[in-house]
Structure 1
């Protein structure tokens, strides 16, 4: 099975945590459990997430979105995301409705999910167990043996569920094939439960899906977010709705957002994009051809097969003297390109049908298009984009730009030149062309600050031109005269060379406030100069010390408390509460429990089978079954002794599972604390260190955008910092201390993040500072409200152990009044 990237794993953790909190809050009878769970989880990944949005007709249904830029593996993530959704629904064999934006994408997705060798299918089986993938025609012919026996995945377009479409009418009409399925179900359903809403046939596929409370996956969901589409989804009464898109709308309930640079760090996309702008169309093509040939020569020396492709965007057949695809093709032939190496993909001709461009037998090295390539076309070998159209529309270039971003093999290459993409464009104005390309990247799901840094000029004597609203201060122009110039006629600032941090600060001060944000990122920070910051980590037998290592020698549940505070949920009552106070949300969850029982396996339960079921559904990779089963028997035995009937425990087995999982988790943490205290008192000989190298892939999702200009940060952007906060004051002091050479704002989702283990998991100290004497100073800031918690003392203790072991310094700052201690620590 294809291994997930770090940001994909983090997205799944976010979903698992969100759905778990929804259950916990609903079971506790809290108002608005969805909104509260969303606020708690999304707040870890987003900067001030908006309130949770519930579309009309979908109230009470978990409905979240994952923002993944183009090339980030949305489909693979969606397949894996079905596992936590299935767990939330409590169904052993759930139904999934997988909606695609177009028919072309539907066919592509269906083929992949049906192919047992494809990573998508393997992920699907890992998430759902035995699975049947269907199109609409196959779903309309389901049999009683299919429903509840295996997981069902229906792949369709959203249009197929619209009642005004021919296919849609089939979904909502009574179906003779399905009558036998309903015949089995209705004996198990409460009276009237199978009665469908208006417009839905009793024996229709739509009504069957409604009873199963399906998981709905919406691919590129922004294409489906209309009132009509919400109405269509509401008819299915989903159990969970999961959106996956590069460009979500504001009301999308984004739970997790990956950055483009996280994708680049994981080898998913090529960055940066080197942009060359020329005035002549033929010169653009000649330069792009030369670059492609250079890349192919580099690729021939690599260990994997790689044939770089040049994607050319021709002009449409309108306007004055258009450089059409025919002219482009003729020009390539004149330059000596072989005919079989050229493929054309336009509305009137498509040479790509049936082509496997990744095959070594394919001769294609040049693909010519006009507006866009056919939907679903994907070729990671596309490295170079040449557009002979004037770059004035970001939408027009966006249609093809995404095609050169995907990385072959989804892993970084040995040669740095093969980790980048290349663009050649026709324009009279580099600044305009660069900004058009940056806007196109935003349409591909990049943050604006990422797009700003992802495109830069190379060679050919190009200068960056920035239009201003006001004249810079004369003294600034004089002091930076060798690197900048100003044209008063066009009100344009010309940047000739990169600026140092202090020079950029001087320039910013010399501009009007409305012009300061227009400055491109031309400052060279230590990381951009190629410097590396080496930081020692605590190590355990040669690998980074993690909290899991505290229990490496094993631990036991024997003798630990197995009592659980179990109270059966008031099923059958919640559904009558109605809409007051938002309690419809809890009624929806009760409907999920009903669906889980209805479509679950129909077997006779015993104490042994319930214990085995709990053991299978509670993760415990660190404990053998010989440890967990006796513990579960003790817990169940105690419940039976307290008067609970076995059938009640079986009916509530998923809630019981959550309680017992939490119980085991608490015992695991207690065992970690015991080992942790022994480690602090008497560090074993096996505790060592290893070196963490901090280099140039620091791309936070929430960068600092404040007014203060930091001068000593190691990277060009700063993670998760807001003007005026206590952490900001701490960062500013580090930046101003003469003893500090440079510093780094540490953040948890960074691949190279400095981390220290403690019994509760891993913590990431806020700041790392390299002092001029060569010492490292690690600083963790805690506000007064957290100053004296047991967790804070544990973190301080492991920090001091790290300092003793490595010969560096660790400081826990609890209040702003303790900043003097930071000054002293830097001067020791």
Structure 2
């Protein structure tokens, strides 16, 4: 299971933030600068920019990732753990407390993280060399395979519920009580400053506190009370990662996933089709017919080689009241009377769980109808759930926001051939339909989506709403005009249910209302697919900015340049693809992945100069500097690792095992080098290590961060060289061409602003260093220049895509005669192979783009091959 593109972006954002922590040495300063560089400074008056860091838990960096329902929060967290532990020194035990709000979510999390066949556990095993152990509270209290030795040698994940740390009952108080099973940990304590007042040093809470764990807080919006915050503080964490679809006001968001990204990846069934009926009987009738229609489509798809789907209806029953409205028992009775087989119906409420032990995704499972109230609100996932049918009283606004997310998850994370299987459905009979729609919007928002993600149809006449108690004021003023018994007409009428359960499942539905719902779904699905198609080329950064709305300060095109600028389409490299591709257009935007398709790193040479290894690398830890005041502590790596007992432990093994262990550590530090596989990197590193003697292997363990950087640079050198050779070959035979596609945006988000210089394309341009400012000031004042633009990096601006990672030239300059210049500035100390490679790429782009396109790399005084010093560049530019 690989990261989706947006999930990969989340991990990149986390890595970037941790890089800022390394650079600025303070958690809050790092956070503030991280966002300032992305979207500009915070303005408390206008609300633009990201609010400053909130120091919620003083002894830890506390950051939040916003991910909509079905966005893969758990998988993101598994990958994030690797990123976080790489940012800390190896003295910190790899201990994680994974907190969840409910017991059913706890059981699900433990099961998935423990199961060696599950993608979550497989990812953890890959990232942590199969040294992973998952514990529940009961395991720890018994000391079951939980001791200082195993904790030192593995990733330890402790899954707990919020409640189990709140000492509110006898069972939970055990966490705070003396425990002889955990006595071995006491001997490992550095000191006793972490021991909570009035608790024994052997108490589980103090053992956890001694580990300075990383906290993963799932559904973190449920952990905002003072009690919950105190609970988090009690764990003495080193880092807190919040995961939620709805961050609270005090969250420190470092990455957010736009809903459109889930739609692109077919993670969710959207839009939601909402249909308001006359009464409950119609709701049930439509639900039964619609379920059959969807199942007929699913059966046909399966026969043609598609995935197995058995669409399920969630009936949301009315809670029991004095009036005994439609309860779950009564509803089941009604369904049985209609003829629905009992094995197809299950009840799931707070008190009754007939789903326990049932795998709803199993082909042999007969369940098609689940009756609930709100017990499915969290922690229950079944992608086969398609229809939410609410049987609330007609006079009520339907309260669906808590369980709407249960029908949003897309089966098998793929687009299905039948369009009706790519959307979800909510069926209601509410006289207060506008209020119901508001609840649906709130439900979508609680899942990380918006009011744009549903479509509705209301067939209940206004007169009927009025007589159903829809207007409380009229009911108060004119009670004699109201129906004496509004419930009577709302009873389920078996005779009006046209569904025949005795027909075979393959029999299609001809119910008129369902036909209308189908038509709505097909039309709205087509609209959404068109929107997704339009969004495919949109960078994730821009979608993030759209999600953030008014927080992002944008600067518009200057009107006098608009007409010329909007006519410009900058060419990018495209690769010819087979025309036979079912979705293909015959060409795709070139990236290095395509060029490295047949690259075998394991075959490349391993000659690396390790003589000049740096000794001054540092990693971050957290230390207390005053009352409730903490700051990152930076420990010199080699000082830290010389004392690391793991060094001697590894060196005591046979050389073959040493190589495997050290290779694993280096692979983690080298990190993801997609599209080069982890397996190829492993083989390459093992070849390097196999030729080294014991002293050299020990030196790598002591200074592994520096060695990893050297290896990474060598791998990148090999990959770039191979990709460039492939690129040149494909250009030669016409398989790679340029195509004008990139356009200037109407507005930009430069982040930190540069100085105001004449002839700029936008109201304000992005920041520039002194040399860049000098160069563009000279150029902007030239008579032949129409306008210039500070090209934005990090996926915001124009890139020359080619054999290297995307190259973002510093400036785009347009002359009055229509010449377009990409200009890259370099200090005289930056004449290196990387700069030479960018020149070759830039010049190849200019050659293929056409006679009006030019690429300049400009230094101050020197003039390397195919580059210019400042004076020569000005002279040439003046003639364009």
**Common topology (TM > 0.5):** yes
The corresponding residue for 1:72 is 71
Q: Structure 1 residues 669, 111: CA separation in 2 closer, same or farther (over 3 Å shift)?
A: closer
Does 1:397 find its partner at 2:367?
no
Q: Secondary structure at the match of 2:376?
A: coil
* Deviation sequence 1:572-630 (CA, Å, 0-9, x none): 9x96x8249x9831348799997996774653859999998665433465682377449
Query: Is the CA contact (8 Å cut-off) linking 1:727 and 1:781 kept in structure 2?
Result: no
CA distance in 2, matches of 1:529, 1:111: 35
Distance 1:356 1:375 in 2: 17
CA 528–228 in structure 1, closer or farther in 2 if over 3 Å, else same:
closer
Measure how far apart 1:429 and its partner are: 6.5
The CA distance in 1 between the partners of 2:532 and 2:805, in whole Å, is: 35
1:21-32 matches, within 5 Å, as 21-22=20-21, 24-25=22-23, 30-32=24-26
CA RMSD of aligned residues (A): 5.5
Residue 631 of structure 2 is matched in structure 1 by: 585
* Number of the residue aligned with 2:607: 558
**Residue 223 of structure 2: aligned partner:** 224
- Distance in 2 (CA, whole Å) between partners of 1:801 and 1:433 is 59
Cα 1:149–1:730 change in 2 (3 A) is closer
Secondary structure of the 2:75 match is helix
Among 660, 667, 685, the alignment partner of 1:625 is 685
Residues 205, 525 of structure 1: alpha-carbon distance in 2 compared, 3 angstrom cutoff: closer
Q: Deviations over 1:480-507 (max 9, x none)?
A: xxxxxxxxxxxxxxxxxxxxxxxxxxxx
Cα contact 2:182–2:204 (8 A) shared by 1: yes
User: Within 2, Cα distance between the matches of 1:395 and 1:602?
Assistant: 64
Q: Distance in 1 between matches of 2:853 and 2:651?
A: 56
Match of residue 5 from structure 2: 6
Indicate which of 157, 160, 163 corresponds to 1:156. Answer: 160
On the 8 A contact 2:61/2:240 being kept in 1, the answer is: yes
Deviation at 1:444, TM superposition (A): 1.5
Q: Residues 375 and 538 from structure 1, CA distance in 2 versus in 1: closer, same or farther, beyond 3 angstroms? A: closer
1:235 corresponding residue in structure 2: 234
1:546 matched to 2:594:
no
Aligned-partner Cα distance in 1 for 2:78–2:528 = 40
Give, in angstroms, the shift of residue 297 of structure 1: 0.9
Q: From the superposition, tell whether residues 362 and 210 of structure 1 become closer, same or farther in structure 2 (CA, over 3 Å).
A: same
How far did 1:156 drift?
Answer: 1.3
- In structure 1, the residue matched to 2:276 is 277
Distance of 2:664 and 2:532 partners within structure 1: 52
SS at match of 2:401: helix
Q: Measured at CA, do residues 200 and 335 of structure 1 come closer, stay the same or move farther in structure 2, by a change above 3 Å?
A: same
Q: Secondary structure at the match of 1:586?
A: strand
CA distance 1:592–1:136, change in 2 (3 Å): farther
Contact 1:557 1:631 survives alignment (8 Å): no
Please list every run of 5 or more consecutive structure 1 residues that lacks an aligned counterpart in the other structure. Answer: 464-520, 638-645, 695-703, 705-709, 711-717, 732-744, 767-776, 815-828
Query: Is contact 1:101-1:220 (8 Å) kept?
Result: yes
Larger displacement relative to structure 2 (192-201 or 403-412) = 192-201
Contact between 1:147 and 1:181, CA under 8 Å: does it hold in 2?
Answer: no
Return the offset for 1:687: 6.4
2:801 and 2:460 map into 1 onto residues whose CA distance is: 50
CA-to-partner distance for each residue in 1:330-377, whole Å, 9 max, x for gaps? 554455433432223335644333333222222222222223337533
Q: Distance in 2 between matches of 1:531 and 1:233?
A: 43
- Give the whole-Å Cα distance in 2 for the aligned partners of 1:602 and 1:759: 43
SS in 2 for 1:196: coil
Q: Residue deviations 1:218-270, cap 9 Å, x none?
A: 11112123333333333332222222111111222222211223223222211
Structure 1 residue 721: deviation in Å? 9.7
Corresponding position of 2:80: 81
Alignment coverage as a number of residue pairs? 677
* 1:439-495, Cα deviation, whole Å (9 max, x unpaired): 22001222xxxx2221113697999xxxxxxxxxxxxxxxxxxxxxxxxxxxxxxxx
Q: How does 1:756-795 map to 2 (within 5 A)?
A: 756-757=800-801, 761-762=805-806
- Measured after TM superposition, the shift of residue 121 of structure 1 is 2.5
Q: Is the contact made by 2:276 and 2:457 (CA closer than 8 Å) also made in structure 1?
A: no
Contact 2:27/2:61 (<8 A) preserved: no
Distance 2:727 2:111 in 1: 55
- Say which SS state the counterpart of residue 4 (structure 1) adopts: coil
Q: 1:351 is matched with which residue?
A: 354
Call closer, same or farther: CA 1:12–1:524 in 2, change over 3 Å.
closer
With over 3 angstroms needed to count, the CA separation of the structure-2 counterparts of 1:174 and 1:382, relative to structure 1, is same
Structure 1 residue 686 displacement after superposition: 6.1
Alignment partner, residue 603 of structure 1: 649
> For the structure 1 residues 660 and 126, does the alpha-carbon distance in structure 2 shift closer, same or farther, using more than 3 Å as the test?
same
Task: State the alpha-carbon separation in 1 of the partners of residues 174 and 66 from structure 2.
Answer: 33
1:54 alignment counterpart: 55
Residue 215 of structure 1: how far off its partner (Å): 2.0
Alignment partner, residue 139 of structure 1: 140
For structure 2, the residue ranges without an aligned partner over 5 or more in a row are 41-47, 463-523, 538-570, 579-587, 671-679, 755-759, 766-790, 811-817, 858-880
Secondary structure of 1:373's partner? Answer: coil
Separation in 2, partners of 1:211, 1:178 = 12
**1:257 corresponds to:** 256
- d(CA) in 2 for partners of 1:592, 1:241: 27
Q: Which residue of the partner structure matches residue 116 of structure 1?
A: 116
Stretch deviating more after TM superposition (67-76 or 684-693): 684-693
* Residue in 1 that maps onto 2:213: 214
The alpha-carbon deviation at position 32 of structure 1 amounts to 1.6
Between 1:800-809 and 1:437-446, the stretch displaced more is 800-809
Q: Which whole-Å CA distance do the structure 2 matches of 1:746 and 1:527 have between them?
A: 28
Deviation at 1:157, TM superposition (A): 1.4
Query: Cα gap change, 1:414/1:232 in structure 2, threshold over 3 Å: closer, same or farther?
Result: same
Structure 2 partner of 1:770: none
Deviations 1:660-698 (A, max 9, x none): 43444455666777778888988654662499999xxxx
Counterpart of 2:373 in structure 1 is 370
User: Residues of 1 paired with 2:204 and 2:288: CA distance?
Assistant: 54
Matched residues in 1 for 2:398 and 2:690: separation?
62
Alignment partners' CA distance in 2, 1:9 and 1:525 = 24
Q: Deviations over 1:304-328 (max 9, x none)?
A: 2211111122223448784443554
Contact 1:97–1:155 at 8 Å: present in 2 too?
yes
Question: How much does 1:720 deviate?
Answer: 6.7
Determine if the alignment matches structure 1 residue 288 to structure 2 residue 274.
no
The separation in 1 between residues aligned to 2:708 and 2:438, in whole angstroms, is 52
Q: Do structure 1's residue 36 and structure 2's residue 30 form an aligned pair?
A: yes
TM-score after normalising by structure 2? 0.63
Q: What pairs with 1:707-718 in structure 2 (closer than 5 Å)? A: none
Match of 1:700 in 2: none
In the alignment, the residues of structure 2 paired with residue 532 and residue 583 of structure 1 have an alpha-carbon distance, to the nearest angstrom, of 45
Q: Does 1:103 align with 2:103?
A: yes
How far residue 298 of structure 1 moved from its aligned partner, in angstroms, is 0.6
Q: 1:590 to 1:393 in 2, by over 3 A?
A: farther
Conservation of the 8 A alpha-carbon contact between 1:391 and 1:433? no
Which residue does 1:412 correspond to in 2? Answer: 415
For residue 661 of structure 1, the aligned residue among 697, 708, 725 is: 708
- Which of 360, 363, 370 is residue 363 of structure 2 equivalent to? 360
Q: CA deviation at 1:202?
A: 2.3
CA distance in 1, matches of 2:386, 2:642: 48
1:701 alignment partner in structure 2: none
Conserved? CA contact 2:617–2:706, under 8 Å: no
| Conserved 8 A contact 1:284-1:386 | yes
Kindly tell me: are residues 811 and 210 of structure 1, through their superposed partners in 2, closer, same or farther at Cα, counting changes over 3 Å? farther
Question: Aligned pair in 2 of structure 1 residues 719, 793: CA closer, same or farther (>3 Å)?
Answer: farther
- What is the CA–CA distance in structure 1 between the aligned matches of 2:644 and 2:434, rounded to whole Å? 62
